[in-house]
Structure 1
Amino acid sequence: MVLVSVFFMNLLCAMVPCDPANSLPEIDGVRVSGMSGFRGKRLISGGGEDYPVVESRNGAVKGFPMMVMSGRRIFAFEGIPYASAARFQDPVPAKNWTGIRKAFSPGSYCLQIHPGKMLRVFGSENCLTINVYSPKIPASEQAKKLPVIVFIHGGSFTFGSGTEFGPSYLLEKDVIFVSFNYRVGVLGFMSTGDNNSPGNYGLKDQGLALKWVSENIENFGGDKDRVTLMGQSAGSVSVHLHMLNPTSQKYFHRAVLLSGTAHNHWGLQNSTRVLKLTRALAKWVNCGTASNQEIVSCFRKIDPNWLVAAQMNLFDWIPFPAVLFAPVIEHAESPSPFIAESPSVISQSGREAKIPAIFQMTSQEGLMLNYALNGMMKIGGFRNAVKKYLSNYLDYDYVTNDNLNLQGNITDRILNYYNVTNPRNAPLSAYGEMGTDRMFSVGISKGIKLHARIAPTYASLFSFFGKYNQGKFLGVPQNELGVAHTEDLYYYFNASIYLPGFKQHDKEAELSKIMVNLLINFASMGEPLYTDKKSGKDHRIWDAVSPTDEVMQLLQLDRDVLMVDDPFAERKRFWDSLHLKDTIPLVDFSPLLNETGTDSSNDI
């Protein structure tokens, strides 16, 4: 039935437009209309210097001029191949080309089902392309080199593209912006737990993109020794995993993690769970399950669109679990393991990259779970059966019921802690708070505390409720709105596939400029200073996290930008007390269970 629904949605969207039509950012007081995508106003001319040619390791590429929000002209190079990959195999660098390659449009999305595109299956397996945006192309090797920000998109490791996020806000400043595509979903993260398909293909794509940046970015005006790796959600987990990978560490020098770390339980799948998903998918697409070799061989032969669409059948209760195929800890004997040990082991043994890092989350991350239920028209069903579905909603359904009804015990404790006495009538914000803590704040806090032991670490909380709130555009009722997952992302990047761009005099645009100011200085100097526009002086408004503080200090990004105490500290201690194996605390504050909620198959 799910596959039939996906088929008819794809058929419908082949006949009528299904993509949202949001406005682009206002440019220099003039609103740009009638254009799709994020790329902003293109400048039309006869060529020459307006269409610069840059030499890359693979061959020459020609870019085009673009205008950002301030009216500044920049140069864009889109859809440059950086790698290629056969299905379920590690990527290899892109082949060289002769002549000049036009880099005038983004490459294809990697094949996926995208919730922002009406759950259509679209894209291509030939998708490993990179985009570079530069305010100026160097006239010589002696020209001043600019800091570089490389962004890894999120999307539950299942959907998304680097082309969705544009440079209109960032490139008002002198910085190079790079985005790229990587394989997602089953094609990017399917694993059999052995050498038949070790997994982590999407991460290995990302690693080659980082290498490409290191080898080529100076020709675009960038400084290969000042590369900041930035990501959001699944992209943020990816950033953290690169911080734990000794090969990747060579290619970047600062990190920005928005709404995710490798310590968030959904950031890595345990081998038993992902193999279960793989075998279930094999049944749905009529591949045998006699052996892992047979499954992988069959997956490589069948129509990839069918394989991707069939993922919809793997949800326990649509749209949960929020993450299906994801990074895994590979066996050490894998040919080229991306990660072969637990992130906690790597971090606590001092092998995490010792670089300045920013960790950020929104104040109500978990509301996105409610938005997903709203979009699937399942709010009523959830309210009427909270005790049945809460373990799916919060992703602890792996806890078995054979030990004093442990799963039910955990559910009761969670509901009691968040004062949900009548689940049918409880405000949805209560469930949003549960999601914020379980899915985000606990793991992010652990990542912050571990990194603060080895390098300058800055924490921030985005709590600004603006008029471009994504819940409004998703049709969420007014009383259920908040500052949900991804809200902060749109203040760094314009992304018209999701939300309209800002207008020049919006309060949102003012906050965006502050956030970009801090980010650019961090990318340039390794410290998020604020540069006063009038005086040109730098001010330290953001203190680094002290690893010895009992309550963490973080920068609040709201109508007032100031340092505040961590508002989630007490709630995190509650989750630590549950002793779920996938959220092992750094400090065991107050164990309240005699029996632990563990699963011996969970190897994370």
Structure 2
Amino acid sequence: MDESWVFVLLILIVKITCYEVEVRVKQGLIVGTTEASVLEGKRYYAFYGVPYARPPIKKLRFKDPVTPKKWKYPYDARAEFHGACAQPHIVQKHAKYGNEDCLYLNIYTPQLPKADSYNLKPVMVWIHGYAFASSFSHIYGADFLLDNDVLLVTVTHRIGVFGFLKVNETDTHANMGLKDIVMALKWIKRNIDKFNGDKTKVTIMGSGSAATFLSSLLMTKARTLFSKMILQSGALFSPSYFQRSESFELKTLADNLSKRGFKNVLRASTDEIILASQKIFNNIELLNFQRPLIPFMPTIELKSNKSLLTISPEHFFSGRTKLNSSMPLLIGFTSQESIAEVIPFLHNPQYLNMFKQSFKFMVPFSDGCHYDYTSETYERIAMAIKKEYFKDGISEKSLERFVKYTSDLQKYPVYKFIKTLLQLKFSKMFVYKFNYVGKFNTMKANSLAGANLAIKGAASGDELCYILKCEPMWENYVLLRNETSNRDTVLIKQMAKWWTDFAKTGDPTPAGQPNKYYWPATTTKGDSLMLIGKESKLVHFASEEKTYKFWNSIYDKYYKKEACAKVHDEL
């Protein structure tokens, strides 16, 4: 059959089967619709753009989220909602994407409750993140997961300046973006049974910076709101985390706005605040800090009845705080995490030549000292990194090594998180490394578009479109509908099964069920890493362990507190 006819027929099938459904939650009646999954054509129910908090605008701008009001009339949740919270546009410079009125859920369920049966299903909650400045949770659909009989809820939350600017040092409004997530989880806890979801089996799942945000919840009382966790390419020990100066950020933002004629942060427009928020740190500050300096990030709050995050990771993981050792964790990373971060170098490898004379480096540590980039210590660290990654020198021919170096910077915090939890005898932990390359590696494809080169491996976020239906790729999924032996189709179904089996049982390959693969929990021996590729297989953490040991040696020699005290050229 001609491909265009396949596309037309599937649209007709979906349209014909759509009809309204109603669910009553605490706020009132919600009207949803029906859809059909793209690969298997299974019917499911969708409720789009459901508010879980009041709009954080006007008097609620830069405030903690507030419980939503009840509505008098049925709430229409039939129209697809792909909205996002206000953020800088990732393509168009000086432009914004999304809106401040953004605290909404999309809810997808394969079955609504029946009067004659009570068979609640596991719930998966999805939050997307990219570089702590972007989030597009609602462009990801539930089809592949729902084909495996679970519910999916996608969540938007405030990020950047609107999520983490602390306007008043004396009040309790802080970490609003994290508190949005907690508010959404509380809403799910109260209402998900009305959608046939089991509130005792909630798995939170995040990618990139969203995974880092979610891992923070382990240190809070909110960890009781979920039973399992999936972290993809992100974890608590991000070098950008807990590095901020709230007063400096507020003052700099206010100064930037004042130069444009706005004397009051609260009254400035969304566009002006986003523009002003992108000019908080300068290049010299970045060089001297040796980490990604990202403003408006989570902060440690003073303890109060409204606080959420009141303890540092160092204190929390010191063993003085009891972890929930019964919570299973699925965590992983991709083989080439940094591909989307080094796009200018991919398209212009000659840029690497500028590192020949002066190698400006970054380190992956979440704590420790920092050095003036003109100091002797800085130069010694640079030489050690070059010896490890660029033994033959740095030139435009070093692109592959440069991608490995920058990817290791992103893998190290995730691997440190894994090692830390293993040492603390945390619950079962299943670890993967995604190395597959197919038609749905959207991050890699977009990063390399127009570049005349080949890069092995998968970029950060490349696994997403094999787990969740990426709306921009919809037509490509339609073409797979009858291609059951296509390797992309096979991987989509395999990954959906792994992820949903984990949500159901706490194990991606539960005993007593038919599985092509056996994926055991990781141990302190560094075994049982699921390498996901053309032929997925279990491997050892050999490469990751080597990288971890190198960066630990750099930390011990130059960045831990004892080392900082021994040098005299730090800032």
Task: Quickly name the TM-score band, shorter chain normalised.
Answer: 0.7 to 0.9
Q: Deviation per CA, 1:317-364, whole angstroms, max 9, x where unpaired?
A: 59x876623533323246633212212321332433330001110011
**Which residue does 1:578 correspond to in 2?**
554
Give, as a single letter, the amino acid of the residue that structure 1 aligns with 2:188.
Answer: V
Match status 1:130 vs 2:105: yes
- Aligned CA distance change for structure 1 residues 207 and 31 (closer, same or farther; 3 Å): same
Aligned counterparts of 1:287 and 1:351: Cα–Cα separation in 2: 49
**Which residue does 1:358 correspond to in 2?**
330
Give, as a single letter, the amino acid of the residue that structure 1 aligns with 2:518.
Answer: I
* Aligned partner (choices 87, 93, 98) of residue 61 of structure 2: 87
**Which residue does 1:517 correspond to in 2?**
497
Contact 1:151 1:180 in 2 (8 A): yes
* Structure 1 gap ranges (5+): 1-25, 289-294, 586-590
**Which residue does 1:4 correspond to in 2?**
none
* Aligned partner (choices 121, 127, 130) of residue 96 of structure 2: 121
Match status 1:299 vs 2:265: yes
Alignment of 1:449-488 (within 5 A): 449-452=419-422, 453-470=425-442, 471-474=444-447, 475=449, 476-480=451-455, 482-488=457-463
Q: Deviation per CA, 1:466-504, whole angstroms, max 9, x where unpaired?
A: 233333333143323531111111211122347974442
Aligned counterparts of 2:266 and 2:20: Cα–Cα separation in 1: 40
Aligned counterparts of 1:575 and 1:413: Cα–Cα separation in 2: 10
TM-score w.r.t. structure 1 length?
0.81
Contact 1:399 1:406 in 2 (8 A): no
* Aligned partner (choices 143, 147, 152) of residue 122 of structure 2: 147
| Structure holding more helix per residue | 2
* Aligned partner (choices 291, 302, 325) of residue 332 of structure 1: 302
Deviation for aligned residue 1:436: 1.7
Give 3-state SS (helix, strand or coil) of 1:186's partner: helix
Contact 1:195 1:335 in 2 (8 A): no
Q: 185-194 or 122-131: which moved more?
A: 185-194
Aligned counterparts of 2:265 and 2:27: Cα–Cα separation in 1: 31
Aligned counterparts of 2:570 and 2:428: Cα–Cα separation in 1: 35
Alignment of 1:11-410 (within 5 A): 30-31=6-7, 42-44=14-16, 50-68=19-37, 69-84=39-54, 85=56, 86-105=60-79, 106=81, 108-115=83-90, 120-140=95-115, 142-191=117-166, 194-195=169-170, 199-246=174-221, 248-266=222-240, 268-272=241-245, 275-286=247-258, 298-314=264-280, 316=282, 324-333=294-303, 336-349=306-319, 350-354=321-325, 355-371=327-343, 374=346, 380-385=350-355, 388=358, 390-391=360-361, 399-401=370-372, 405-410=376-381
Give, as a single letter, the amino acid of the residue that structure 2 aligns with 1:305.
Answer: D
- Aligned CA distance change for structure 1 residues 599 and 543 (closer, same or farther; 3 Å): farther
Deviation for aligned residue 1:187: 0.7
Give, as a single letter, the amino acid of the residue that structure 2 aligns with 1:546.
Answer: T
Aligned counterparts of 1:177 and 1:52: Cα–Cα separation in 2: 17
Q: Deviation per CA, 1:131-170, whole angstroms, max 9, x where unpaired?
A: 1001111123842111110011112221222211111221
**Which residue does 2:533 correspond to in 1?**
558
Deviation for aligned residue 1:420: 4.6
Give, as a single letter, the amino acid of the residue that structure 1 aligns with 2:235.
Answer: T
Alignment of 1:488-499 (within 5 A): 488-497=463-472
Give, as a single letter, the amino acid of the residue that structure 2 aligns with 1:313.
Answer: K
Contact 1:464 1:559 in 2 (8 A): yes
Deviation for aligned residue 1:210: 0.5
**Which residue does 1:542 correspond to in 2?**
519
Contact 1:287 1:299 in 2 (8 A): no
Contact 1:420 1:426 in 2 (8 A): no
Deviation for aligned residue 1:569: 0.8
Give, as a single letter, the amino acid of the residue that structure 2 aligns with 1:82.
Answer: Y
Deviation for aligned residue 1:512: 1.6
Deviation for aligned residue 1:365: 0.6
Q: Deviation per CA, 1:358-396, whole angstroms, max 9, x where unpaired?
A: 11100111222212655xx77544542466573369799
Deviation for aligned residue 1:191: 3.7
Deviation for aligned residue 1:542: 0.8
Aligned counterparts of 1:509 and 1:193: Cα–Cα separation in 2: 51
Give, as a single letter, the amino acid of the residue that structure 1 aligns with 2:271.
Answer: N
TM-score w.r.t. structure 2 length?
0.85
Give 3-state SS (helix, strand or coil) of 2:508's partner: coil
- How many residue pairs match? The answer is 543
Aligned counterparts of 2:26 and 2:65: Cα–Cα separation in 1: 17
Aligned counterparts of 2:117 and 2:145: Cα–Cα separation in 1: 24
Q: 171-180 or 447-456: which moved more?
A: 447-456
- Aligned CA distance change for structure 1 residues 32 and 195 (closer, same or farther; 3 Å): farther
- Aligned CA distance change for structure 1 residues 538 and 509 (closer, same or farther; 3 Å): closer
Aligned counterparts of 2:405 and 2:569: Cα–Cα separation in 1: 20
Give 3-state SS (helix, strand or coil) of 1:579's partner: helix
- Aligned CA distance change for structure 1 residues 594 and 279 (closer, same or farther; 3 Å): closer
- Aligned CA distance change for structure 1 residues 204 and 324 (closer, same or farther; 3 Å): same
Deviation for aligned residue 1:316: 4.1
Contact 2:83 2:138 in 1 (8 A): no
Aligned counterparts of 1:348 and 1:413: Cα–Cα separation in 2: 30
RMSD: 3.6
- Aligned CA distance change for structure 1 residues 572 and 386 (closer, same or farther; 3 Å): farther
Give, as a single letter, the amino acid of the residue that structure 2 aligns with 1:359.
Answer: I
* Structure 2 gap ranges (5+): none
Give, as a single letter, the amino acid of the residue that structure 1 aligns with 2:338.
Answer: G
Q: Deviation per CA, 1:189-209, whole angstroms, max 9, x where unpaired?
A: 224693358531110100000
Identity of aligned residues (%): 22
